[in-house]
Each structure stands twice: as C-alpha cells, then as structure tokens.
Structure 1
Amino acid sequence: MIKKVTRLVRLLALFGIVTVFLTACGQRQSLSKQDVLQNDRASNTITWGVKADTKLFGLMDVKDNQVKGFDVDIAKAITKRILGENGRAKFVQVTSQTRIPLLKNGNIDAIIATMTITPEREKQVDFSKSYFDAGQSLLVKKGSPVKSVKDLDKAGTKVLGVTGANSVANIKKSAPKARVLELSDYAQAMTALKSGQGAALTTDNGILYGMATQNPGYEVVGGTFTKEPYGIAINKGQTPFKKSVNQALAEIEADGTYNRILKKWFGNVAGFDYKEAAR
C-alpha cells in the first residue's frame, strides 16, 4: 500500500512539473503574439538580440561584462527615440543560429545582429529598412595567394564560414568548386583560419574588418562580391513596433547620431570607407 501511495505521489509530482513546463512554454509563445510596442512602453524597456563575438558590431568586454559595438549603440539610440531618454535597452546574446528562434519565441523584441535582409528570412520575420550596407568579402593571412573569390573556385579549396550566416550560401554560389567548412561562431572560425583549416574566412566586410583589427597578421582582400544590407528583424504582425523602429532610424540619421556612432566604431578602421558608409 505504501509503495502504491509513493508511486502515486511521484506521478502527481511529475504531472505537476510537466504542467508548469507546458504552461511556461505557452506563455512564452503567446508573448510573441502580443503587442511588443505596448509591452515595451509599459516596461520602459526594449529587449534586443545582439552578438557578443563580433568585433566592431557586438563584442563582450571582459572588463565589465558588457557587450559593446555599433549594433549595441544603434539599439540604444533607437530605444531612446521610441521610449524617451529614460528608456532602457536590454541585451540578450544571440548567434546566427539562435537569433530567429529567440525572436519567434518572444525571448527578445528585435534582432540587431549583423543580419542581412534576404527574401528567405523575410518569410520568417519582418525587417526594418537597412541600417548598415555591408558586402561579403574574404579574410586571409597576409601574403596569402588568395586575392579574390575567384582564387577560391578550385576543387578542394577550403573556405571557412559560420553556420546560419548568409555568407555560407553565397560562397557556394560564387565559388562552387570550393569546400565550405562551417563553424558555430566567428571565434571558432578565426581559430580554424589560424590553424590552417581553410584558405580564407568569408563573411560580411564589416565583420571581417573587426577580426582584422584583432589579428594584425590577417587582412581583408578582394573587395566585396555581394551586397548585404543589414536590417533589424522583428516578429511578423508587429506593425506598430516596426513603424516606430523605422521612424527612430530616420531620426538618428537626420540628426547626425548615426554618423557619430559609425565614426566611433569604423572611423579609424584601415581599409573601411567611412565616408561611403555615412548617411
């Protein structure tokens, strides 16, 4: 009898745990269906998904455990325009693989994480207008025979990329004979390049310039062979929030805030054309 009671208690406890888990999942999913702008105004906070491994755009500063970069500063400026000077920008670390799932689940309100606007992604999320016009390029060791994407289009040539990034699909189109090795993040991709696992690392030029500043023995080559406009990703159906983000972007471009942030992060980066990128 005691064993039966004990077994019943365990089953009830397990049922309770499952119920709580499913309820939490339901609440999280329903959160993505709510009016984001209304919720953010009520909490005076916008939660942004940002990268923490991408120099110049979003990189964790180990001194104070704060993510810093162009994307972060643009997010802060947009937050102030939407919520006012006391508005708070909260940041959640994302990767190319996790950013859309986190947005769809309602864990973040928007993604500002070097995310190229593409037709395929627009099937899943909505985008703001472009806030940074990048282009795909190559990072190689100085002195490398690789000078352009054409040099990679040879059977067996290994090219490094990051899983979930648009650049992986692009390199397969531009250098179909090359072999692509996908890593989980840019830190791993850079380590692979240094260890000779690939002839070049490919992604957007802005990201590569950041990696080059951290690794003086490497350089960006070949110009750009694609156009990669970055947009802020927002859940579908969040029209008021998207409209507010676009309006805020227009405001920070008009009053010079955008160019000040751009100059702060890219003004002294060797090879980067700051004047061409300014708005």
Structure 2
Amino acid sequence: MKKTVFTVGAILLASAFTTVHAEDTLAKIAETKRFVVAYRESSVPFSYLNGPEKPIGYGVDIEKAIVESVKKKLNLPNLEVSWRPVTSQNRIPLLTNGTIDLECGSTTNNSARGKEVAFAVNYFYTGTRLLVKKDSGIKSFADLKGKRVASTTGTTNLAVTRRYNEEKKLDIDIFSAKDHSDGLLMVESGRASALALDDVVLYGLRTSAKNPADLEIVGDALQVEPYACMLRKDDPKFKALVDETIVGMMKSGEFEKLYRKWFIDPIPPRSQAVGLPMSKELRDTIATPTDKPAT
C-alpha cells in the first residue's frame, strides 16, 4: 500500500513540476537566455516579410516592445531574440509545445482557442469579408452561389464561411489555401472566385498584389472578432507583463501612432497604404482595455 501511495504521489509531483515549468515563460526565458518570437510571412500589415528573414508589421512592432519589457524585467539587456515563422495551422501547436513563446499576428481571440492558449489585451477588430476581382460581379456572400472560394487553413474564416454556406445552402466549393499569399494567387489566377479572410488581411494582401487596382474587398462582415497576442495558458506573470506593455502603449499615445504607421500611412514593400481607419471597437478598447474573446 505504501509503495502504491508513493508511486502515485511521485507521478503527481512530477506532473505538477512539468506543468509549472512549461507555463512559466519568464522563468524559461531567464534560464535559457533566449526568447522565441513568432512571425507570419504574409499577414500584411500585421506580420510579414520585407526581404529574406526580415519580419515587419504592426504585430511585429508590438512584439519588439514586449521584448524590451522582458529584457528590463529580467535584467537581460543582451537577451537572445529568435524569430520563428509560423502559419495559421501550426501557430497554436508551436506555442503550446514550447517552440515559440509569443505570437502577435492576425490571430483571433475566441473562446474555442481559449481552451488551449491565453490571449493578451485585444489590439484589433475585424470580420470575414471577400477579396474578388472587380469584374467578377461578386458584391456579397450571397453572390458566391455555386462558385469556388478559398480561405486559409487553420483560420476562423474557413469555419465561418463553411457555416454560412451550410445555413444558406449556396453550394459553394470551399477549399483551403496553405497561407494567405496562396489564397491571393488563387484569386489572381482565376482558380478561385473569392478569398474569404479577415477584412484587414485582405486590405493588406491587396497592397502586395500584382495589380491592386484590379481587386476589391466586398460583402458585409459575417462577424466581428478581436485580434490579440497569443501566449501559453495559465501563465499569469507573463500575461501581466504583455498586457502592461500593450496598455502602456495605449495610454501613452504610442499605440495610435503605431496604428497610423501600419494602417493609414504607406507601408513597404510598395509604399502603398492599407487605408483602414481605426474601428469604434478598437477605440473603445483603447479607452477601456479588455481581453474579452469572441464567442
């Protein structure tokens, strides 16, 4: 009996130690002297490449601010910062298994994902709309009846579009693109009539298209969802630091400057502006920060 109790106790103790160690991001960084930050390769203007292995964007600038906060918190001015590319499909697994420590991109904060990961203060709001060719005749989701529509694997947009198709019985042929840039290419080449993604991502993709003037974003948003930085679940110390950094930027006015830099002013690589004014939802969040998820 004693042997059984000892064995169970040892297993529980080992499990508890593993869980705590895995969740304490700041302790992990302090021990390894390395902070692994994720970026997307084509989520314009949030996180994308402007040259080989040179991530830039709205989310990347926020990550850089968080990096400085971590350096100060841990007194590690020479902290090694590693940038790791992720996709819609692998971003959550790579975070939960410890490969990356933080992801600030075009990731929706919703209740379903909240079962696996945690989210910082919301820093953007968007909804699923459509990127189409101007001469396509498509002006709304109802116009997609019987057509081929692309969306990116691992996104909420894919699920939302499928649900809409089932509810409205439109017989849309929905298929997955491996990343946003692939979805754009499908529309440009005529392999898809539309690309269904968050409207801001579509605006960003249009700036990198071969002929931006040939494309337009149409349709009322199927839903409004918040974006937020993603971190490991049940890690209150790291979440507090990330939230404090972002809220501090909101209170100081730095956040609005950052928004203008990436959504109003011309951006690389073509010096074209996304041209998306700040939403009421985001202005409300700046006034009263929240990490409330979409349902």
> Mapping of 1:111-126 within 5 angstroms?
111-126=103-118
Q: Indicate if the aligned counterparts of 1:103 and 1:235 stay in contact, CA closer than 8 A.
A: yes
Percent identity (aligned): 29
Residues 275 and 35 (structure 1), Cα distance of their counterparts in 2 relative to 1, 3 Å cut? closer
Distance 1:105 1:274 in 2: 35
Distance 2:260 2:66 in 1: 17
SS at 2:195's partner residue? strand
TM-score normalised to structure 1 length: 0.81
Structure 1 unmatched ranges of 5 or more = 1-28
Equivalent residue, structure 1, for 2:232: 235
> Mapping of 1:50-129 within 5 angstroms?
50-62=39-51, 65-84=53-72, 86=77, 89-129=81-121
Residues 31 and 200 (structure 1), Cα distance of their counterparts in 2 relative to 1, 3 Å cut? farther
> Mapping of 1:196-235 within 5 angstroms?
196-215=190-209, 216=212, 217-235=214-232
Q: Indicate if the aligned counterparts of 1:133 and 1:228 stay in contact, CA closer than 8 A.
A: yes
Distance 2:234 2:275 in 1: 40
Query: C-alpha offsets along residues 238-265 of structure 1, whole Å, 9 cap, x if unaligned?
Result: 1111111111111011111111111111
Aligned residues: 248
Structure 1 residue 189 corresponds to structure 2 residue 183: yes
Deviation at 1:235, TM superposition (A): 1.3
Q: CA RMSD in A?
A: 2.3
Q: Indicate if the aligned counterparts of 1:32 and 1:104 stay in contact, CA closer than 8 A.
A: no
Deviation at 1:89, TM superposition (A): 4.7
Structure 2 unmatched ranges of 5 or more = 1-17, 266-272, 287-295
Residues 31 and 112 (structure 1), Cα distance of their counterparts in 2 relative to 1, 3 Å cut? farther
Equivalent residue, structure 2, for 1:16: none
Structure 1 residue 134 corresponds to structure 2 residue 126: yes
Give the stretch that moved more between structures: 53-62 or 94-103: 53-62
Deviation at 1:179, TM superposition (A): 1.8
Structure 1 residue 161 corresponds to structure 2 residue 162: no
Equivalent residue, structure 2, for 1:273: 277
Deviation at 1:41, TM superposition (A): 4.5
Equivalent residue, structure 1, for 2:25: 36
Equivalent residue, structure 2, for 1:3: none
Q: Which amino acid aligns with 2:244?
A: Q
Distance 2:70 2:201 in 1: 28
Distance 1:34 1:125 in 2: 11
Distance 1:257 1:41 in 2: 28
